Amino acid sequence: MSGSGDSILAMEAFEHVHNDRVAEYLAMGNLIDDQVRESEPGMLVHALTTASENGKETVFRWLEVFENAAALDAHLSNPYVVAHIEKLNSGVLSGPTDLVIYADWDDALRSAWASKLSGANLSFAPMHTGFFLKR
């Protein structure tokens, strides 16, 4: 593990949405997708899919691939993203967001990000094999 944060990394964000708010959520998803595309050159992939559905909620999955940890940091501090998260937390979401980060970070960098993302259910994907390119 490099620990430096200069490699490409991926994050999955699982957002639990009240079923009666799905149409609103999808409209919000289209808007934030356009805003991120225009304002974040370090975002390499930004894709929304449905992970699961039941009688109470629909779980959506954002797959986000970042050029490096600085691009992830820029995403989380992007005013569009901050406003988007605030709106989600005003009743659209039925529970906390689950984040899974795929990165070649050492324990110190993981700990720093765990502190930064303390409002979400954060985990780091346990890698058995793989690699992370630098651009």
What pLDDT does 1 receive? 44
Predicted confidence band of residue 135 (pLDDT cuts 50, 70, 90): confident
The torsion angles phi and psi of 41, rounded to 5 degrees, stand at -65, -20
Per-chain mean pLDDT for the chain = 94
The torsion angles phi and psi of 10, rounded to 5 degrees, stand at -130, 155
Name the residue among 63, 100, 71 with its Cα closest to residue 5: 71
Lowest mean pLDDT among 13-17, 57-61, 124-128: 124-128
User: What is the percentage of the chain residues whose pLDDT exceeds 90?
Assistant: 87
Q: What is the residue whose two structure tokens read 């708010």?
A: 21
Name the fold adopted by 9-124.
Alpha-Beta Plaits (3.30.70)
The CA-atom distances, in angstroms, between 47 and each of 27, 34, 39, 72, 116 are 14, 11, 16, 15, 23
Compute the distance between CA of residue 131 and CA of residue 62 in angstroms, rounded to an integer. 21
Q: Where are the domains of the chain?
A: 9-124
Q: What would the pLDDT profile of 58-95 be if each residue is shown by its tens digit? A: 999 999 999 999 999 999 999 999 999 999 999 999 99
Compute the distance between CA of residue 76 and CA of residue 84 in angstroms, rounded to an integer. 11
Rg value, the chain, Cα:
15
Q: What would the pLDDT profile of 37-54 be if each residue is shown by its tens digit? A: 999 999 999 999 999 999
Packed helices 79-87 and 69-77: angle between N→C axes, nearest 10 degrees: 60
What pTM was estimated for this model as a whole? 0.92
Q: Residue 93 carries which DSSP code?
A: B
What pLDDT does 81 receive? 97
Confidence check: pLDDT of 113 > 60: yes
